Amino acid sequence: MLNERDLTGTFVPIITPFLPTEDLDLESYQRYLANLLQYNIQGLVINGTTGEAPTVTWEEVIMLVAATKQTMTSCNRELPIIVGTGTNSTRSTIQRTVLAAELGADAVLVVTPYYSRPSQDGVLEHFRRAADVGIPVIVYEVPARTGLQLTPETVRSILDLQGVIGLKDSTSNTQLLTRLVQSDTKPILCGNDQSYLDMLAHGASGGILASANVRTELFVQLFQHVTQGEMTEAQHLFNSLSPLIHALFQESNPAPLKWVLAEQGLLDSASLRLPMSPISAELTEQLHSLLRS
């Protein structure tokens, strides 16, 4: 299982490939995953936002984890598997966290409870009970999707819980990160791709980055530049990646990302499950141009 020391470097949130019938496409999944495994990434996240978790059943999560392990064995490459288990119900979050542990996950990613807008105390208790399951928990703070922003004090209290090993910070700036690193804190991974270099410069230990599904080797190089103190090189590389990152989030993730992966031949189809829909013609042309360059 993962511990705090392991939360450093480039982690990739995995997409969930579908056939045009919306059935799971495991053949594409294994081809796509085998491509990722050739790079020096530090872990994979299954059933997160990029994996269209709201429309994926737990039975399909089981299939994805099994296919991931099989592909790793075939490629002779083992990486930690993090499974998204958070919902807006503490009871179902606990149930899914227990099931993820039984699947052999190395950690779970638990999002701040969404939609119901609970109190800060309620959120703290939600994470306390998830952490009590016994598998390492990574907190996922993403206010733009949950409708709830945690205070730095609440996040610090959650990170102090035994069993919580770190935070995926998907806020829109470095304010939370800056507050947390003023005192000893557990690792913080950037979850906002467009702020990645800025967050690394302010103390983030790495990132869980949807964009790293594309040009993966450049994201790995970027992190290496930062850890070696080569900030000029890091800035130059990030500037070259920024147009792609911007385009991948111009419409709802993972629709643009799936289009790119299908265009690269890693997926047979860019199919999504409703209510997610294909990207616009304008974005298609923009991505065509970026890939050609």
- What gap in Å lies between CA 166 and CA 287, rounded to an integer? 34
Question: N- to C-terminal Cα distance for the chain?
Answer: 40
The tokens for 93 are 């979050």
Q: Find out whether 62 is annotated in a ligand binding site.
A: no
The residue among 176, 178, 175, 210 whose CA lies nearest residue 194 is 210
Q: Find out whether 227 is annotated in a ligand binding site.
A: no
Q: Kindly list the catalytic residues.
A: 140, 168
The residue among 7, 2, 46 whose CA lies nearest residue 188 is 7
- What gap in Å lies between CA 187 and CA 165, rounded to an integer? 7
The tokens for 52 are 């269209």
Which residues are part of a known binding site for pyruvate?
Answer: 50, 208
Residue stretches of the annotated binding site:
50, 208
